[in-house]
Structure 1
Amino acid sequence: MARPATERLRLGVPDIGALLAPFPGRTAATTRIAAASTLTVLITAMYGTPEAAISAYVIFFINRADRTSSIVMSAAMLILISIIIGLVILLGAYTLDNPMLRVACMAVVSATLLFLTSASKLRPVGAIVAMIVGFGLDELGLVPAGELATRGLLYAWLMVAIPIGANIVVNLVLGPSPRRLACDRLAHCLRLAAQSLRDPASDGIALGAVLRDGVQPVAGWLKLAKFEGSASAADVVALRQAAASTMAILMAADVACRQPGAALPAAQAEPIADTLDAMARMLDAGGYPVEIALSLPDAELPPVQQSVRRELRSAIERYAEPDEAAVPHTAPPPAKAGGFLDADAFTNRTHIHYALKTTGAAMFCYLLYQQLNWPGIHTCFITCYLVSLGTAAESVEKLTLRLAGCLIGAVVGTAALVYIVPALSSAGGLLALVFVGTWLSAWVAQGSPRIAYAGFQIAFAFYLCVIQGPAPGFDLTIARDRVIGIIVGNLVVYLVFTRVWPVSITGRIEGALAALARQWQQLVDARLPDARRQHAAAALGLQGAIAQDLVLARYEPASVGPASSWVDDCRRRLGVLDAIAGPLFLLAERFPGDPAVAASLRALRPAEAAHAAEAGGTAPGTPPAHPMTDHDTQTRDALLALVDKRLADMPPDGPGTSPSSHAQT
């Protein structure tokens, strides 16, 4: 199977074209961002508030796929920024006449907020909040009197409050409900499964993508649907079961496509695919299929094909119908009070490192343009908060996207200033220009992480060039200085995160691989179908994240990153796990708790295998405790043979054996 573009180190033109291709929901999300940003520019033009470009850019950070989370996040951010601006006003009373104290307050407050960005639930918006605080304190140094300083801080509040209000309005009008998104996602997954069953020889990239992240968001959307009232409790239970069944269907379809001799004959595959398409149409209509009768011709199939057929049939016929006896047991356990901070907030040094590095980069840029007396490049200070990342690998990989996006946005914005803006006679023309530019950059930003950062930077540079005030502006000097500021900010962040204080991505990969092995072990041990399918979805999502991190690891400098052999071993290990996912899932579904399956999985964790051998644990090949027919035995042996064959290709040692003496954590 060809590797998807998101897992290649270097992207060619065909790869970029694939990443820019439409997918379900991309057009709607892009249009909402463009509408909210344009409405923000309209409001700022009506009231003449400063920094309208940054206000429009805030929309990119607070808009979410569904209307409920977008509105809740917007309201929460408004409350938070109001509290923070109040804090800044208090600080301003003591720092207005003391530049050194003001800079010290900027650094302390910035580091605190960035620490919370890394180590708490403030993560989605913390960097924006830190940037607003820095901007507010900076405004204090530009005014001669306390009343004007207060007015400047209120403008800083409006800089965020206006896009928040615009985002709420647009999502109330255009935002899809969480239930609608859940049904659309399940329908998309079913169609891809049907397509793969009809054409097992296809490359399987689309099927692999939905296996990694297709079903995972559904559980969150269903919680939001219950919260907003768009789905009853009974509908949520049924759709949660539908998500679990969809996961089983996708896993069975993956086995049929990828394992030798597992593809179903056309006489079996066609009626199953037709049924899946019909189920997808029901989900598109906002409902969910129940009481499905799947009629298949009788046929003697090889064991693996028989296992695929059985799993598909079981998942389809009980698609949205949970076992009433199992419902009390399959309901998720009461969540622990997680609190605001992460569990490792004060033990993981990564959080404080991130805060100090980003604050250091931002303060360097602040002092740079102050000492140069070049306020036009103040965007370097803002940029540090918007582009800071956790590891050297991410910083290097994203630098190219940032600079490319910045240059594209600057070229487009400058061309608009030269050829389009002079022809505009009203604010309406400027709004149309903003809508088009936002739509194009948001289309990129809504794509894969491999290109999303470019979309953010295109929008940022475009806004800073085109939106120069409440009316069309023509000053190319402003555009030039702002673009220079963006480039300076990007380069400073790059140098700090890769040369001054680098953090390798290897620690994150090692932890994720260990967590992945635990997920597969929990899947095999689970006795209830819903639990197995949830573990499968989590494991495949984690595999996708690790694959992305392994691509990023190649970008790290040799003094920081892992050796190539370590990355290759991790990649082979991940490839083995990807290959056994389908057969392992079918084994766990058909023979839950089988000790032979658990014994095979010990190859993923050599230390546990040695411990089990010393303790006289169950050896591979031990029959399960429950009686089996000859046909069951054949099926089990055939699936175990697929798993064992792949596990034999596993690197002998785990990847956590000192990947690089230079890697820092």
Structure 2
Amino acid sequence: MAAHVDSFGQQFRERLALLRPFPGRIEFSIRLALACALTTLVVEIYQTPDPALTAYVAFFVMKRDRMESVIISIVLTILISLLVGILMLVATAVIDQPLWRVISITVVSFGLLFLASASKLKPLAAIIAMIVGYGLDLLSDAHVGELATRGYLYAWLFVTIPATVSIALNLVLGPPPRRLLEQALAHRLALAASLMRNGDEKVRDAFEETLSEGVTGLKTWLKMAGIEKSSPPTDIAALGHATDSITTILLLVDFVDRTQSETMPPPLRGQIADTLDEMASILRVGGYPVDVAIEHGEEDLPPVTATLLADMKETLRRFTERPLPELPIVEAAKAGFFLPDAFTNPDHVYYALKTTAAAMFCYAAYLLLDWPGIHTSFITCYMVSLGTTAETIEKFTLRILGALIGAGLGFAAIVFLLPHLTSIGALLIVVFVVGLVSAWVAAGSPRISYAGYQLAFAFFLCVIQGPSPAFDLTIARDRIIGIMLGNVVAYLIFTNIWPVTVIRRIDPGLVALLRRLVDLTNATSRSRRDSLATDAAGAMGVISQDVELAAYESSRIGSPQFRLTARARAIRHIRALMGPLLLLSNEQSAASRAVAHRLDTLANELSSGTRLVEVTMPPSQNGLPSNTGKDPRAPCTVDGFVMADLEVLESAFVRRGGG
């Protein structure tokens, strides 16, 4: 295996930190656990087959805001109707012919998984894959036409029951997307205020994580709020301005935190922090801050401080600006159903082939072993399939951990709890409690969420065995063995057959990021600058995740000369550069043109194969890298800060090619 960028202890602490609460996490976890419990109640009342899987589908249809949850539930109901229709036609043709039944399972699996990977259905790929696996599992067991028809009608209920529960629950308890957007903006402003007051290491870590997240989720809520039409268009447009400005505010605060003694005196930092806290308080109660001002002139301040203060004032003004009602919201042109690389990128085909191969191996295994109890291995292969080798390895670890914890809780519940349960209400409480724990983990970062999904899956399969209380440990044992087998088979196939390395995305991503910084430096309008800064911060977060994932890959899959630590440090150098670069982009001076040229040169060199090496930045007093103000060559001006950080970034490039 490749050497990890961080030590195991540090990684463990980082994963543990991902379990800390954030605005809306407990509310979403309770709502998701309640959806699992209510779905269990419905399936127990009507005694539909596979109640555990039906309850588990709630994890896929429940989103943090009510509008997206309702849309996902409706879309999945339509999809399951179409899929059931396709599978019923296939079943009618091959039900009495075992060989053709196997062939049809393989062909249908490949076709539907290709669509899930290469089309706009990709965000729903996981649930589509699970539905496909469940439907094909029914097809493999069907030997009589009437039973097959009944089975597929139950398969339709398998999705429509949790989808209906989700719609009803969200219409009653689901938070509107606008509220979630306001809370997220308030959370970011409050973190920025804490950091301006010399926040501790926990605040700094939370701030860095929030900055790396970008605003994709915020823009989704903004879009959902527009679709919901529960708020005036002017309010949605104002929140759009705030979303566009928040990253700029965070980057400016990050710059101040890295260079406190050189850029801003403590009284002024405190005044800005109070302003940010006041804005956060207004957003938390559902209001919108207007007429926000920092009562401090720019006279008698060092050049960089005056520039920074003026830029912060203007950014806060734009944040609180309420546009006129007649201003239209321009939407991007809609693309087709298939992704641009659907028929040119072989990874979509590889994904469908590898997932199908893993599932068919498990299918053949439990048939040859005459062990139908482990049929969960077949369905598991569809649930755990991922695009790259690094993702597969990381998620494999999380899923095995989650499955073991869920299985342990499930066996303990069967032995110690279920014999004493005397009503359906008691069972629902058990499902709710474990669902709450699973939902809390699943609601977090993708770096831990898969453990929550697998915990719930394993526990539900153990405890919810049928329409009545069941204490059969053999059934639970076989289902857990099936989950483990499916995970192991998918892991072995995805890491050994056509492995897709995440490394190949890193350098192109860095090149694109550098070119965004070139555009940022050349930006002629503040709105264009804010948009580019937001895109760059989001891209930086994606590349950072890829670097962390790449540490899971062996040199056989990646490249033995590929230095992950060098890429991680380059990202930190770029991040240190972004704050002063924002200030420089306002000046349109000879210095900004020179910086743009040097950044463009770095992008060209990296794209042509120039090697990155590990170069450290002189540490600042707060432990974050900084080269500003410490270097006597760097005067306390915007140009000086930019040039100093740019030189550190340039020194990481070896201009003799290779590696």
Instruction: Provide TM-score, normalisation by structure 1.
Output: 0.89
Tell me by how many angstroms 1:403 deviates: 1.1
**Structure 1 CA distance, aligned partners of 2:362 and 2:518?**
49
Tell me by how many angstroms 1:320 deviates: 2.2
**Alignment-mate amino acid for residue 340 of structure 2:** A
Aligned to 2:243: 243
**Alignment-mate amino acid for residue 197 of structure 1:** M
Judging changes above 3 Å, is the alpha-carbon distance between structure 1 residues 654 and 295 closer, same or farther for their aligned structure 2 residues?
farther
Aligned to 1:439: 436
Aligned to 2:33: 34
**Alignment-mate amino acid for residue 294 of structure 1:** I
Show structure 1 runs of 5+ residues with no match: 611-632, 659-665
Aligned to 1:210: 210
Superposed CA deviations along residues 506-547 of structure 1, whole A, max 9, x for unmatched, are 222233222212222222232222222122122112111111
**For the Cα contact (< 8 Å) 1:388–1:395, is it kept in 2?**
yes
Superposed CA deviations along residues 350-372 of structure 1, whole A, max 9, x for unmatched, are 11111100011011111110111
Judging changes above 3 Å, is the alpha-carbon distance between structure 1 residues 596 and 560 closer, same or farther for their aligned structure 2 residues?
same
User: 3-state DSSP class of the match of 1:287?
Assistant: coil
What percentage of aligned pairs have identical amino acids?
A: 45
Tell me by how many angstroms 1:641 deviates: 2.6
1:599 to 582, 597, 600: 597
Tell me by how many angstroms 1:399 deviates: 1.6
**Structure 1 CA distance, aligned partners of 2:180 and 2:655?**
43
Judging changes above 3 Å, is the alpha-carbon distance between structure 1 residues 116 and 7 closer, same or farther for their aligned structure 2 residues?
farther
User: 3-state DSSP class of the match of 1:442?
Assistant: helix
Judging changes above 3 Å, is the alpha-carbon distance between structure 1 residues 539 and 104 closer, same or farther for their aligned structure 2 residues?
same
1:9-408 pair list within 5 angstroms:
13-199=12-198, 202=201, 204-259=204-259, 261-296=261-296, 300-321=300-321, 334-408=331-405
Judging changes above 3 Å, is the alpha-carbon distance between structure 1 residues 140 and 568 closer, same or farther for their aligned structure 2 residues?
closer
Aligned to 1:647: 649
Judging changes above 3 Å, is the alpha-carbon distance between structure 1 residues 29 and 201 closer, same or farther for their aligned structure 2 residues?
closer
Tell me by how many angstroms 1:555 deviates: 1.2
**Structure 1 CA distance, aligned partners of 2:317 and 2:76?**
44
Judging changes above 3 Å, is the alpha-carbon distance between structure 1 residues 551 and 9 closer, same or farther for their aligned structure 2 residues?
farther
Judging changes above 3 Å, is the alpha-carbon distance between structure 1 residues 314 and 472 closer, same or farther for their aligned structure 2 residues?
same
**Alignment-mate amino acid for residue 646 of structure 2:** D
**Structure 2 CA distance, aligned partners of 1:526 and 1:248?**
14
Tell me by how many angstroms 1:609 deviates: 11
**Alignment-mate amino acid for residue 599 of structure 1:** H
**Alignment-mate amino acid for residue 649 of structure 1:** S
Superposed CA deviations along residues 9-30 of structure 1, whole A, max 9, x for unmatched, are 6655533431211111111111
Tell me by how many angstroms 1:74 deviates: 0.8
User: 3-state DSSP class of the match of 1:306?
Assistant: helix
Aligned to 2:507: 510
**For the Cα contact (< 8 Å) 1:603–1:647, is it kept in 2?**
no
**Alignment-mate amino acid for residue 215 of structure 1:** V
**Alignment-mate amino acid for residue 542 of structure 2:** A
Judging changes above 3 Å, is the alpha-carbon distance between structure 1 residues 257 and 154 closer, same or farther for their aligned structure 2 residues?
same
User: 3-state DSSP class of the match of 1:124?
Assistant: helix
Tell me by how many angstroms 1:384 deviates: 0.4
**Structure 2 CA distance, aligned partners of 1:531 and 1:168?**
39
Q: Which deviates more, 470-479 or 286-295? A: 286-295
**Alignment-mate amino acid for residue 285 of structure 1:** V
Tell me by how many angstroms 1:332 deviates: 6.5
User: 3-state DSSP class of the match of 1:605?
Assistant: helix
**Structure 1 CA distance, aligned partners of 2:33 and 2:56?**
10
Aligned to 2:640: 638
Aligned to 1:617: none
Judging changes above 3 Å, is the alpha-carbon distance between structure 1 residues 234 and 184 closer, same or farther for their aligned structure 2 residues?
same
**For the Cα contact (< 8 Å) 1:197–1:264, is it kept in 2?**
no
**Structure 1 CA distance, aligned partners of 2:136 and 2:299?**
75
Aligned to 1:538: 535
**Alignment-mate amino acid for residue 26 of structure 1:** R
**Structure 1 CA distance, aligned partners of 2:266 and 2:54?**
56
Tell me by how many angstroms 1:324 deviates: 6.9
**For the Cα contact (< 8 Å) 1:303–1:638, is it kept in 2?**
no
1:448-459 pair list within 5 angstroms:
448-459=445-456
Tell me by how many angstroms 1:635 deviates: 3.6
**Structure 2 CA distance, aligned partners of 1:111 and 1:143?**
20
Tell me by how many angstroms 1:393 deviates: 1.2
**Is it true that 1:497 corresponds to 2:494 in the alignment?**
yes
2:422 to 420, 425, 428: 425
**Structure 1 CA distance, aligned partners of 2:470 and 2:157?**
21
Judging changes above 3 Å, is the alpha-carbon distance between structure 1 residues 138 and 205 closer, same or farther for their aligned structure 2 residues?
closer
Tell me by how many angstroms 1:652 deviates: 2.4
**Alignment-mate amino acid for residue 30 of structure 1:** S
Judging changes above 3 Å, is the alpha-carbon distance between structure 1 residues 295 and 577 closer, same or farther for their aligned structure 2 residues?
same
Judging changes above 3 Å, is the alpha-carbon distance between structure 1 residues 297 and 267 closer, same or farther for their aligned structure 2 residues?
farther
Judging changes above 3 Å, is the alpha-carbon distance between structure 1 residues 432 and 88 closer, same or farther for their aligned structure 2 residues?
same
User: 3-state DSSP class of the match of 2:412?
Assistant: helix
Tell me by how many angstroms 1:566 deviates: 2.7
Q: Which deviates more, 171-180 or 431-440? A: 171-180
Superposed CA deviations along residues 37-70 of structure 1, whole A, max 9, x for unmatched, are 1111110001000111111111112222211111
1:572-587 pair list within 5 angstroms:
572-587=569-584
**Structure 2 CA distance, aligned partners of 1:452 and 1:358?**
21
**Structure 2 CA distance, aligned partners of 1:221 and 1:251?**
22
Q: Which deviates more, 538-547 or 522-531? A: 522-531
**Structure 2 CA distance, aligned partners of 1:490 and 1:283?**
44
Tell me by how many angstroms 1:111 deviates: 0.9
Judging changes above 3 Å, is the alpha-carbon distance between structure 1 residues 239 and 168 closer, same or farther for their aligned structure 2 residues?
same
Aligned to 1:571: 568
**Structure 1 CA distance, aligned partners of 2:179 and 2:134?**
39
**For the Cα contact (< 8 Å) 1:437–1:459, is it kept in 2?**
yes
Aligned to 1:622: none
User: 3-state DSSP class of the match of 2:370?
Assistant: coil
Judging changes above 3 Å, is the alpha-carbon distance between structure 1 residues 7 and 68 closer, same or farther for their aligned structure 2 residues?
farther
User: 3-state DSSP class of the match of 2:563?
Assistant: helix
2:484 to 487, 497, 507: 487
**For the Cα contact (< 8 Å) 1:127–1:386, is it kept in 2?**
yes
**Structure 1 CA distance, aligned partners of 2:7 and 2:76?**
36
User: 3-state DSSP class of the match of 2:159?
Assistant: helix
2:474 to 474, 477, 493: 477
**For the Cα contact (< 8 Å) 1:526–1:592, is it kept in 2?**
no
**For the Cα contact (< 8 Å) 1:502–1:560, is it kept in 2?**
yes
Judging changes above 3 Å, is the alpha-carbon distance between structure 1 residues 324 and 71 closer, same or farther for their aligned structure 2 residues?
closer
Tell me by how many angstroms 1:441 deviates: 1.0
**Alignment-mate amino acid for residue 490 of structure 2:** V
RMSD over aligned Cα atoms: 2.5
**Alignment-mate amino acid for residue 444 of structure 2:** G
**Structure 1 CA distance, aligned partners of 2:7 and 2:339?**
32
**For the Cα contact (< 8 Å) 2:247–2:537, is it kept in 1?**
no
**For the Cα contact (< 8 Å) 1:55–1:162, is it kept in 2?**
yes
Tell me by how many angstroms 1:180 deviates: 0.5
**Alignment-mate amino acid for residue 493 of structure 1:** A
Show structure 2 runs of 5+ residues with no match: 609-634
